[in-house]
Chain A
Amino acid sequence: MDVTAQHGLYHGIVSGLLADYAHCIDGDDLESWPALFTDTATYRITTAFNHAQGLPIGIIDARNRNMMEDRITALRKANIYEPQRYRHIISVVRLIDAADVASDIIQAEASFIVVRTTIDGSQDLFVSGRYLDEVDISGARPLFAKKLVVLDSDKIDTLLAIPL
Chain B
Amino acid sequence: MSDTSSYKATAFWPNDGLTDVPYNLYDDEAIYRRERERLFMGPTWNVLGLECEVPNPGDYKTSFIGDVPVVLVRAKDGTLRGFENRCAHRGALLCLERFGNARAFTCVYHAWSYDHDGNLTGVAFQNGVKGEGGMPDDFRREDHGLRRLQIASLSGLVFGSFDPAVPPLADYLGPDIVGRIRRVLPKPLKVLGYYTQTMRNNWKLYFENVKDPYHASILHLFFTTFRLNRLSQKGGIIVDDSGGHHVSYSKLDEKPGGDGDYNSAELRADTDEFGLKAPALLGGRDEFDDGITLQILTVFPGLVLQQVRNSLVVRQIVPRGVDRTDVVWTNYGFADDDEELADLRLLQANFIGPAGYISMEDGAVVAMIQRALPGTKGDTSVVKMGGDGTASQESRATETSIRGFWKAYRKIMDI
Interface residues of A (CB under 8 A from B): 45-47, 49-50, 53, 55-64, 66-67, 69-70, 73-74, 77-82, 154-161
State how many angstroms separate the Cβ of A7 from the closest Cβ of chain B: 35
The docked-state distance in angstroms from the alpha carbon of A78 to that of B360 is 11
Using A62-B350, A69-B278, A159-B361 as known contacts, list a sample of 6 further A-B pairs with CB atoms less than 8 Å apart, ordered by residue number in A.
Answer: A55-B192, A56-B342, A63-B280, A70-B277, A155-B195, A156-B355
Interface residues of B in 313-371 (CB under 8 A from A): 326, 331, 342, 346-347, 349-350, 353-355, 357, 360-361, 363-365, 367
In the assembled complex, which residues on chain A have CB atoms less than 8 Å from the CB atom of B347?
Answer: 61, 63
* Given known A-B contacts A60-B350, A61-B350, A64-B278, A158 and B364 have beta carbons under 8 A apart: yes
Contacting A63 at CB < 8 Å: which of B194, B278, B360?
B278
Whether the pair A82, B364 counts as a contact (CB closer than 8 A) is yes
In the complex, the answer to whether A69 meets B277 with C-beta atoms within 8 Å is yes
Most chain B CB atoms below 10 A, which of A55, A59, A64: A59
Residue B24, interface by CB 8 Å = no
Within the assembled complex, what's the spacing in Å between the Cα atoms of A47 and B346? 15
Which A residue sits closest to B354, measured CB to CB? A156
Instruction: Find out whether the CB atom of A80 lies under 8 angstroms from the CB atom of B276.
Output: no
Q: Given contacts A55-B194, A60-B355, is CB(A158)–CB(B225) below 8 Å?
A: no
| Contact present for B274 and A158 (CB under 8 Å) | no
A80 to B276, CA, bound (A): 18
B229-243 vs A, CB cutoff 8 Å, 1 = contact: the mask equals 000000000000000
When the two chains form their complex, are residues B274 and A57 in contact, meaning their CB atoms are under 8 A apart? no
- The CA-CA distance from A69 to B279 in the complex, in Å, is 12
Per the bound structure, the CA–CA distance linking A66 and B275 in Å amounts to 11
Specify which chain B residues have a CB less than 8 angstroms from the CB of A67 in the assembled complex.
277-278, 281, 350
Residues of B at the A interface (CB closer than 8 Å) are 98, 191-200, 219, 221-222, 224-226, 274, 276-278, 280-281, 326, 331, 342, 346-347, 349-350, 353-355, 357, 360-361, 363-365, 367
Give 7 CB contacts A-B under 8 Å. A73-B274, A78-B221, A78-B225, A80-B221, A80-B365, A154-B196, A155-B197
CB-based nearest A residue for B98? A49
The residue that A78 contacts in the complex, of B222, B277, B280, B349, with Cβ under 8 A, is B222
**With A and B bound together, what is the CA distance between A99 and B98 in angstroms?**
38
What are the 8 A-B residue pairs with the smallest beta carbon separation, nearest first?
Answer: A57-B193, A55-B193, A78-B225, A66-B278, A66-B277, A160-B355, A156-B354, A50-B193
Instruction: Give Cα distance in the complex from A55 to B364, angstroms.
Output: 27
Whole-angstrom CA separation of A66 from B269 in the bound complex: 14
A64 CA to B280 CA, complexed, in Å: 11
Q: Give which listed residue, B192, B346, B355, contacts A159 with CB less than 8 A.
A: B355
Nearest residue, chain B, Cβ from A84: B364
A58 contact from B197, B222, B349, Cβ within 8 A: B349
In the complex, which residue of chain B has the Cβ closest to the Cβ of A81? B364
Residue of B nearest to A77 (CB): B225
Specify the chain A residue showing the minimal Cβ separation from B197.
Answer: A156
Cross-chain contact A157 with B193 (CB below 8 angstroms): no
Report how far A56 CA is from B346 CA in the complex, Å: 7
* B379 smallest CB distance to A (angstroms): 23
Q: Quick one: closest B residue to A49, CB to CB? A: B194
CB contact under 8 A between A79 and B364, given known A66-B278, A156-B354, A158-B200: no
Contacts of B196 in A (CB 8 A): 154-156
Is B276 a contact of A158 with CB atoms below 8 Å?
Answer: no
- Residues of B within 8 Å of A74, CB to CB, are 222, 225-226, 357
Residues of B within 8 A of A53 (CB): 193
CB-CB nearest in chain B for A161 = B360
Is the beta-carbon distance between B349 and A57 smaller than 8 angstroms? Answer: yes
Closest to A80 in B: B361
State whether A56 touches B364 (Cβ < 8 A). no
- Chain A residue contacts of B277, Cβ below 8 A: 66-67, 69-70, 73
Give the chain A neighbours of B274 by CB distance below 8 A: 73, 77
Chain B residue contacts of A154, Cβ below 8 A: 194-196
Residues of chain B with a CB closer than 8 A to A70's CB = 276-278
Q: Which residue of B lies closest to A162 (CB)?
A: B355
Across the interface, do B350 and A79 meet the contact criterion of CB distance under 8 Å? no
With a cutoff of 8 Å between Cβ atoms, the chain A residues found around residue B354 in the complex are 59, 156, 158-160
Q: Given A59-B195, A78-B221, A155-B198, A45–B367 Cβ distance below 8 Å?
A: no
Whether A161 and B355, one on each chain, are in contact in the complex, defined by CB atoms closer than 8 angstroms, is yes
Are A57 and B331 in contact (CB-based, < 8 A)? Answer: yes
* A79 engages B221 (CB within 8 Å): yes
Q: Which residues of A contact B276 (CB under 8 A)?
A: 70, 73
- Report chain B residues within 8 Å CB of A63: 278, 280, 347
Residues in B whose Cβ lies below 8 Å from that of A62: 350
B193 touches A158 (CB 8 A): no
Q: Which residues does chain A contribute within 8 Å of B355, judged by CB atoms?
A: 45, 59-60, 156, 159-161
* Nearest CB in chain A: distance from B217 CB, A: 12
Taking CB as reference atom, which chain B residue is nearest A158? B363
Most A CB contacts (10 A, CB to CB) among B219, B355, B364 go to: B355
Interface centre among A58, A77, A155 (most CB of B within 10 A): A58
Q: A73-B274, A158-B364 are in contact. Are A56 and B193 (CB under 8 A)?
A: yes
